[in-house]
Each structure stands twice: as structure tokens, then as C-alpha cells.
Amino acid sequence: MGIELELHSRGGRSRDTLLRGSYEHGEALARALERIGPRDADRLSRVDPYGDTFFGEQDAGAAAQEAEALAGRSANEGEKAALLDLAALLAQCAATPGSHVWFMGD
């Protein structure tokens, strides 16, 4: 349960385009993202914890900064670790032309 993350190259959604995945923080990441609103994090507030959301490299750069800021304010260590992992994956996406992050919620 929760949110799984995948970084893909060139717009694909297959194992052939997978650059990196993050699957270990699912529930903690979902809890952290459910509590935020647009005033806390404009881009991350758009993530649907129960559906799929995609961020291209431009949104990923801004969202990485939001995730880092939220992690710095998190009192829960599990959620902090999830947000820092998310920030790293988003930063990698921002630095990879044509890539996108796929938030897979369930």
C-alpha cells in the first residue's frame, strides 16, 4: 500500500525505460503527501495517493525543493526518509532530459 515511485527516460512506462525505482517508503510517503496542501507544496499537493501522477523534468525540479523543505519540517523519521528519497529521485529527474517521475498510488 502507499505510493511507489519510478523514474523513466524518454516518456516510457516500461522496464526498458526504468532508470530508478523507489518502493520501500510507500505508506510513509502516502501519509506525508496526504497532509500537505497547496500552501505547503504547490506541486506535491497535486500527487494523488490513490492514483497515478506524472511529473516531467520541469515540475520535478520544483517538487524536489518542496520535498526537501517538507522533510526538514517532518517530526516523523519514516516520513522524513520517504521525503528525502523522493527529493533525490525528483532531482535526478530534473537533471535527466526527457525523463519523468511516475507516482503509482494504490
The residue-averaged pLDDT of 17-31 equals 93
Q: Is the pLDDT of residue 33 over 80?
A: yes
pLDDT tens readout for residues 56-85: 999 999 999 999 999 999 889 999 999 999
CA distance 99 to 76: 30
Indicate the average pLDDT of the chain.
91
